[in-house]
Structure 1
């Protein structure tokens, strides 16, 4: 399976989380639109349809990429 680079995934996860918090605070149309755009991008990259699922998959892919970069114990 092809996955996005972990840094891109991290950036999108952080953006979605930040925009969710901002939307809860200000409920502006601009913030809602920015969240929709970020969520759409993350869903496409993770091959999912809902933001919560996309966030879960992205975090799992980031964790797996991090695990693969760690040296094996001797």
Structure 2
């Protein structure tokens, strides 16, 4: 499987989490579509099937990630 460059993953994670923090899922149709597009892209880039798993996988691939830290998996 091809792996996305860490800079690309970081950008996707930052965009998605920013929209999530702003509760974009309750926003305009355009903003909701952007959030859905980011979720799909994260899933493809990480080879996962849902955005929560994709976020965990992406964060584990970023520089400085600690492979033994699976605390995100409990949420």
TM over 0.5, yes or no?
Answer: yes
User: Larger Cα Rg: Structure 1 or Structure 2?
Assistant: 1
Please give the alpha-carbon distance, in whole angstroms, between the structure 1 residues aligned to 2:29 and 2:57: 27
- Number of residue equivalences: 64
1:1-74 alignment runs, 5 A limit: 2-22=2-22, 23=24, 27-63=27-63, 66=64
More helix by share: 1
| Normalised TM-score (structure 1) | 0.74
Q: Which runs of 5+ in 1 are unaligned?
A: 68-74
Question: Paired residue for 1:70?
Answer: none
- 1:27 to partner: Cα distance: 2.4
When the two chains are superposed, the root-mean-square deviation of aligned CA atoms in Å is: 1.9
Q: Is the 8 A contact 1:3 1:45 kept in 2?
A: yes
